[in-house]
Structure 1
Amino acid sequence: MQNMRIILAMAASYFLFAILLNSVGTVILQAINTFGVTKAQAASLEGFKDIPIAIVSFLVASFIPRIGYKIALLGALSLVIIMCLITPAAGSFWALKALFAAVGCSFAIVKVSVYALIGQVTDSAKSHSSLLNTIEGVFMVGVLSGYWVFAAFLSEDVSSNNWLNVYFLLAGLSILTLLLVSSAKIEKPQLSENHSPKNDFIDMLRLTYQPLVLVFVISAFLYVLIEQGVGTWLPTFNNQVLNLPVDVSVQLSSIFAASLALGRLLAGQILKKVDWYVFLNVCLVGMAALVILTLPMTKNLPNEPVTSIFNAPLAAYLMPLIGLLMAPIYPVINSIMLSSLEKHRHAAMTGLIVVFSALGGTTGSLITGFVFEYMSGQHAFYMSLIPMGVITLTLFLFKKRAQQVACSSAV
């Protein structure tokens, strides 16, 4: 029961931040329409979100166990509550930048805490992988919910900023999550006397010298580059390439989140019978095939007006399905990496995971936004084929290094 309360607190925190973080695609589209900013300027919101994630993760990941995961979670949630209340009152583009910066800082703390707590409440590699996939699955359900939550606040008047009232609702959800975390019995981890903030930070840096970790962070960086590049710009792609109304564009983008959630839930069952390396390579080939087959369908579309999700072109349904295939990659490599380390190093490793994931997300969104602005939406999404090919190589190297570590541990 005690562990269940902790798991519920972790799941609720992840659900909340899934809505906040992945609303950036919808907010980019609304910022372009409401505040008249360019695509390149709107793309900077991804940087305001991800750069703080990277910086905070790098600086405080090794320090969080010293103050305790519960205090860290409560502090992060408190900051989000404050910014969700300020943003609709300010009603400006700078307020959105400040909001995403605060959300980024808070999520860095939440993710390090949650990943470390998963190691505490599980006692085997299999249970660790199962719970990690479940928590990531909850995250994707939050992403899916976020599209519909934001769509409910959109209006036909694209210049109106009334949609910012959604943040009052999210402030309320943040308060409920804070109360749940407060009620969970999350104990402060016991650290040995030779642990110091300086030694813990150096220990995190030393992890990067391990070949397995180096190959892993490259894989994680490239995966998030693809996911954020597609996910962040999908609403704008639907609106400006497929000529869909704003609300329909956002609603259909939820298929991407639903695909990610379903893909991770199915992967948990498939991986019980199929080798992870074979499975992930099949997923990568499927992703590339879907991009190559779908994007030509986005040209020369009929001029018939689209009034709902039910008369949208086929491409609007096919493109988001890439999430079904990419979904298993991130949780699987995370679990394999964390399971190969001692539990006391999980917080430090999670710090590196968050840093390189954040950098990958920012890079992916900026590149996609730049190509979208100066070439076309089709070219922007075709660019995802390049990191897919590189991931195929890094997964091969990751598998070899993981096998070497497993053999040396057995000896």
Structure 2
Amino acid sequence: MNNLGIKISMFLNYFVFAILLNSVGIVILKSQNNYGVDEVQASILEPFKDMPIAIVSFLVASFLPRIGFKRGMLIALGLVALACVQMYFGNSFLSAKILFATVGVSFALIKVSVYSMIGMVTDNQKGHNSLMSSIEGVFMIGIALAYFLFPAFNDPNNPDAWLNVYWLLAALSALSFLFLLSTKFEKSIEIPGADLLDDFFQMFKLLAKLLTVVFVISAFLFVMIEQGIMSWLPTFNNKVLHLPESVGIMMASILAISLAVGRLLAGFITKHINWIWVLIICTISAMLLVIFVLPKAVGLEIKDINTIADIPLVGFAFPIVGLFIAPIYPLLNSVVLSALPKKLHSPMTGLIVVFSALGGSLGSMVVGWLFKNKGAENAFYFTLIPMSLLLLAYFILKKLTTKNAV
């Protein structure tokens, strides 16, 4: 089996979907300006994206090995390439809903396949940790790129010019499809259960294991932190730092970039340092940033800000928290997958996706409630609670994985 080709394919696939997934906010704005829908109507694009990811992952993860991971990813790339083309020609709010529903379904197939295949192309836990972190790092690069790619196609004289970006995204999807098609998959895939029904119930059997329970809680807590910060940082920048809206959004892209850098660095570091020390150091560093740097950012008096260059250095400090929280999610996923037999990686990934989606939605809502009831300047202090619980969870996970408790 061509491990290098498979790894490149996984990176390419994740990169393309990162751009598409992170474009939802941009398309929400375009839908209001171009298609005459209001904020409430436009907001439905988010669940059109997220719900298919959770539902399809839950339903398909257990028996995707029977279909084949390569075939699943080819289907996903083909669907999303067609969805991009229909978005260009459809040029309507209905087309946008079809696009994100297709992206959601397709990403579920991609994520389950990629996470399951990492164990097939790595030889040990450190290799698994490293590749998982690197793939998630490339994903964050794609997210950051979306902030710059879509505006590059804007034309003040042509409100439909932005749609040309979908030709580029369709081409990227097609290239990824062709590259994957030409990559050889020779290694046989272990099937989770005896039949389709047994495959599905393997996911529920996993929930009975202590390692899975601790991991699910840990992943849930982390995604609450990450999505809460990512979703509400533009609001924090606008209401607390009093930055112009456009500058505040660009500052949020710094968080995505720092997450990408953090995960890519973790991919290198975990080849040499045990995962638990990486997570402990990163989590404590993030907590110290919140405790000591956030008050200075909140108390900052900023005047005449027109570009990022006008912002004092301390204003960049809180987005840099992404550098330290970045390794947590991929390493947690890697630790639990490494401790499981390879045939259970697919159903376990289904659980990862479902609980990540739930954690992300709840995290954003909780931070929103805190912004309203505790004040925008105080909301992010509450991230210290799940961070503290994560520190405890690391030691439990370490003990369980060391004893091979699964």
Greater shift in the superposed pair: 201-210 or 175-184: 175-184
Classify the secondary structure of the residue corresponding to 1:384. Answer: helix
Match of 1:279 in 2: 278
Match of 1:3 in 2: 3
Equivalent position amino acid for 2:106 in 1 = S
Match of 1:304 in 2: 304
Please report how far the alpha carbon of residue 361 of structure 1 lies from its aligned counterpart in structure 2 after TM superposition.
1.7
Paired residues of 1:25 and 1:233 also in contact (CA < 8 A): no
C-alpha separation in 2, matches of 1:46 and 1:298: 30
Q: State yes or no: 1:63 paired with 2:63.
A: yes
Match of 2:144 in 1: 144
Equivalent position amino acid for 1:112 in 2 = V
Q: Pairwise mapping of residues 1-80 of structure 1 onto structure 2 (< 5 A)?
A: 2-27=2-27, 37-38=38-39, 45-80=45-80
Greater shift in the superposed pair: 119-128 or 233-242: 233-242
Distance 1:162 1:228, change over 3 A: farther
Match of 2:172 in 1: 173
Distance 1:364 1:82, change over 3 A: farther
Distance 1:168 1:291, change over 3 A: farther
Please report how far the alpha carbon of residue 270 of structure 1 lies from its aligned counterpart in structure 2 after TM superposition.
3.5
Paired residues of 2:129 and 2:270 also in contact (CA < 8 A): no
C-alpha separation in 1, matches of 2:32 and 2:388: 32
Q: State yes or no: 1:232 paired with 2:254.
A: no
Equivalent position amino acid for 1:66 in 2 = R
Question: Percent identity between the aligned chains?
Answer: 49
Paired residues of 2:62 and 2:346 also in contact (CA < 8 A): yes
Please report how far the alpha carbon of residue 250 of structure 1 lies from its aligned counterpart in structure 2 after TM superposition.
3.6
Distance 1:50 1:382, change over 3 A: farther
Classify the secondary structure of the residue corresponding to 2:317. Answer: helix
Paired residues of 2:66 and 2:191 also in contact (CA < 8 A): no
Q: State yes or no: 1:124 paired with 2:124.
A: yes
Paired residues of 1:70 and 1:187 also in contact (CA < 8 A): no
Paired residues of 1:57 and 1:351 also in contact (CA < 8 A): yes
Distance 1:357 1:375, change over 3 A: same
C-alpha separation in 2, matches of 1:156 and 1:235: 24
Distance 1:108 1:335, change over 3 A: same
Equivalent position amino acid for 1:284 in 2 = T
Paired residues of 1:49 and 1:103 also in contact (CA < 8 A): yes
- What is the TM-score with the length of structure 2 in the denominator? 0.87
Match of 2:263 in 1: 264
C-alpha separation in 2, matches of 1:82 and 1:373: 41
Classify the secondary structure of the residue corresponding to 1:167. Answer: helix
Q: State yes or no: 1:206 paired with 2:211.
A: no
Equivalent position amino acid for 1:228 in 2 = Q
Please report how far the alpha carbon of residue 169 of structure 1 lies from its aligned counterpart in structure 2 after TM superposition.
2.5
Please report how far the alpha carbon of residue 220 of structure 1 lies from its aligned counterpart in structure 2 after TM superposition.
0.9
C-alpha separation in 1, matches of 2:155 and 2:231: 20
Equivalent position amino acid for 1:341 in 2 = L
Q: Pairwise mapping of residues 79-118 of structure 1 onto structure 2 (< 5 A)?
A: 79-91=79-91, 95-118=95-118
Q: Deviations over 1:295-330 (max 9, x none)?
A: 552456434141x22113445422211110001111
Classify the secondary structure of the residue corresponding to 2:290. Answer: helix
Classify the secondary structure of the residue corresponding to 1:341. Answer: coil
C-alpha separation in 1, matches of 2:289 and 2:43: 25
C-alpha separation in 2, matches of 1:311 and 1:223: 32
The alignment's C-alpha RMSD in Å is 3.2
Q: Deviations over 1:160-180 (max 9, x none)?
A: 565454333222222221221
Uncovered stretches (5+) of structure 2, i.e. residues with no partner: none
Distance 1:318 1:33, change over 3 A: farther
Q: Aligned pair count? A: 404
Paired residues of 1:25 and 1:231 also in contact (CA < 8 A): no
Paired residues of 2:234 and 2:249 also in contact (CA < 8 A): yes
C-alpha separation in 2, matches of 1:371 and 1:97: 30
C-alpha separation in 2, matches of 1:97 and 1:317: 35
Q: State yes or no: 1:336 paired with 2:317.
A: no
Equivalent position amino acid for 1:390 in 2 = L
Please report how far the alpha carbon of residue 252 of structure 1 lies from its aligned counterpart in structure 2 after TM superposition.
2.7
Match of 1:396 in 2: 395
Paired residues of 1:295 and 1:315 also in contact (CA < 8 A): no
Classify the secondary structure of the residue corresponding to 1:320. Answer: coil
Classify the secondary structure of the residue corresponding to 2:213. Answer: helix
Greater shift in the superposed pair: 276-285 or 184-193: 184-193
Please report how far the alpha carbon of residue 211 of structure 1 lies from its aligned counterpart in structure 2 after TM superposition.
0.3
- What is the TM-score with the length of structure 1 in the denominator? 0.86
Distance 1:313 1:193, change over 3 A: closer
Please report how far the alpha carbon of residue 365 of structure 1 lies from its aligned counterpart in structure 2 after TM superposition.
2.6
Greater shift in the superposed pair: 261-270 or 204-213: 261-270
Equivalent position amino acid for 1:176 in 2 = L
Distance 1:305 1:138, change over 3 A: closer
C-alpha separation in 2, matches of 1:393 and 1:44: 37
Q: Deviations over 1:321-359 (max 9, x none)?
A: 111000111121111111111111111111111111122
Distance 1:394 1:23, change over 3 A: farther
Equivalent position amino acid for 1:357 in 2 = S
Please report how far the alpha carbon of residue 17 of structure 1 lies from its aligned counterpart in structure 2 after TM superposition.
1.1
Greater shift in the superposed pair: 388-397 or 255-264: 388-397
Paired residues of 2:88 and 2:164 also in contact (CA < 8 A): yes
Classify the secondary structure of the residue corresponding to 2:175. Answer: helix
Paired residues of 1:43 and 1:366 also in contact (CA < 8 A): no
